[in-house]
Amino acid sequence: MAGVSWILRNVRLLLAEGEQEGDAWIDKGRWAAIGRVPDRARGLNLEGKGAYLLPGLIDTHVHFREPGLTHKGNFYTESRAALAGGVTTVFDMPNTLPPTTTLARWEAKKQQILGRSWVNFALYFGATLDNAAEIARLDPKQVPGVKVFLASSTGDLLVDSEAVIEHLARVSPVRLVFHSERQAIIEAAAAQWRGKDWEEVPDLHLRRRPPEACIASTRWLLGLATQSAVPFHLLHITTAGEVELLRQRPPNVSAETCPVYLTWSAGDFPHYRNLLKCNPALKSEGDRRALWEGLREGVLEVVGTDHAPHTWAEKHQPYEAAPAGVPAHGYLLPWLWTIGGAWGVGLNFWVEKMVYAPARLWRLQARGPIQEGYWADAVLFNPMGQTQVPPAGSPYHYTRCAWSPLEGRTLAGEVQAVWVNGELSFWRGYFCGSPAGQPVVFA
């Protein structure tokens, strides 16, 4: 429905200054009026009936698998899944095949995605042991950051040289985004537990990637950050020890955790096994509670999904062969609304963690809050509705991998509609028109 103006009536607007009942007008892809629509407004009328209108979520941590891993997912399929869960902007990671570690590959990936993404997007650049010269040439208006894998990952993206990381902390023109685990500790644990399986060790993945690997790495990064003017962002925090360290962090450091770590702990491994195998590993129930406290205190500013689809067959291989990663898209906003209920947090909490904080940290240009003149990325959400997560293999899954660890659950709340750049792209389970996502711009 390209080029259509919208007048949204009787909605509960979630604005930066608080909740407000009223109307909103979308014209030429942007917010033209908020709260009270002028008489001159023209467009299609949509009756909100008191549902929440909130800004579209910004997921700063996804793996959409393109190029090279498209049997698991691609930008078209995974951006549709993100859209269905209330997400309108994503930042995609570089560990693809080939990895996004040169300017030529970054540009080729962008061109491949244009016109095929249902949500707005930005593309991280990947660090290697020898591409600092390429990194120094990155455009801060287009690239959200450089992903630095301090522990083993796909291809040639392991960067475990402290000298290389210290150099990047001096020369990078964009944020350094870290997978924070200590490779030497992981290798020692792997040697100790190699050859074991889930039957023998019910919390095997936690033992293979222990908390000490995360805590030691994060402690070192916080020390390095004090000597650097480059912003650091620490991904998928999982331990109480890291939350405590981050309470004393330098001002150029931000951090996130993920819904999977807020929902499950290592005590759930006996039931889920490889389905919850992800890196870093799920930790103890005490660690899970510490993450919640860190979020509520503002120690962890951001929630990113780390959406990482793998096929059902891949996940049902023996432990050693099964890949790490969990699909998180398709049902995100109802999932957050559901798990937040037990902690007494409402929609405003999630809007802060997945809209305002990312927009502020990354200085997104004209995106984030519902604000006149900004791009109209928005979600109409009924908190009284329900969302049913289908079983594995169901054609009603939005992701290509067609499974979720949430399968069979009835989640609270329903995403009724999503607008991307002012275009109605999702309406009550159906996708509308063509992909409306655009590359985002950073100020």
pLDDT surpassing 70 at residue 421: yes
pLDDT average, residue stretch 297-317: 98
DSSP state of 39: T
What does the domain layout of the chain look like in residue ranges?
A: 6-54+376-431, 55-361
Q: Place 154 in a pLDDT band, splitting at 50, 70 and 90.
A: low
pLDDT of residue 302: 98
pLDDT per residue as tens digits for the range 310-337: 999 999 999 999 999 999 999 999 999 9
Q: Place 58 in a pLDDT band, splitting at 50, 70 and 90.
A: very high
Would you identify the CATH topology of the domain 55-361?
TIM Barrel (3.20.20)
Ranges of H-type helices in 267-380: 269-272, 285-297, 312-315, 332-341, 347-351, 357-361
Indicate the pTM of the whole model: 0.97
Q: Place 296 in a pLDDT band, splitting at 50, 70 and 90.
A: very high
pLDDT of residue 152: 81
pLDDT surpassing 70 at residue 155: no
Number of C-alpha atoms within 13 angstroms, CB side, residue 338? Answer: 22
Tell me the CA distances in angstroms from 82 to 62, 78, 110, 327, one per residue in order.
10, 6, 18, 10
Mean pLDDT (the chain) is 97
Tell me the CA distances in angstroms from 303 to 74, 117, 222, 259, one per residue in order.
22, 22, 20, 7
Tell me the CA distances in angstroms from 264 to 283, 324, 339, 364, one per residue in order.
9, 15, 10, 31
pLDDT per residue as tens digits for the range 269-295: 999 999 999 999 999 999 999 999 999
Share of the chain above pLDDT 90, in %: 98
Distance CA 362, CA 378 (A): 19
Distance CA 103, CA 54 (A): 35
Choose the weakest-confidence range: 68-77, 149-158, 350-359.
149-158
Identify the burial level of 142 via C-beta atoms within 10 angstroms of its C-beta, where 0-12 means exposed, 13-18 middle and 19 or more buried. Answer: middle
pLDDT surpassing 60 at residue 439: yes
- The tokens for 419 are 């607008």
Buried b (16+ CB within 10 A) or exposed e, 189-209: beeebeeeebeeeebbbbbbb
pLDDT of residue 156: 67
The residue among 214, 314, 229, 305 whose CA lies nearest residue 260 is 305
Fold equal for 6-54+376-431 and 55-361: no
**433 phi and psi angles, rounded to 5 deg:** 65, -140
Q: Place 3 in a pLDDT band, splitting at 50, 70 and 90.
A: confident
- DSSP letters along 232-296, please? EEE-S---HHHHHHHTT--TTEEEEE-HHHHH--GGGHHHHGGGG--SSPP--HHHHHHHHHHHH
- In one letter, which amino acid is 396? Y
Top CATH class, 6-54+376-431: mainly beta
Whether 140 contacts 120, CB under 8 Å? no
Tell me the CA distances in angstroms from 223 to 66, 183, 227, 228, 253, one per residue in order.
35, 18, 7, 9, 11
pLDDT surpassing 70 at residue 2: no
CA angle 289/294/299 to nearest 5° reads 165
DSSP state of 214: H
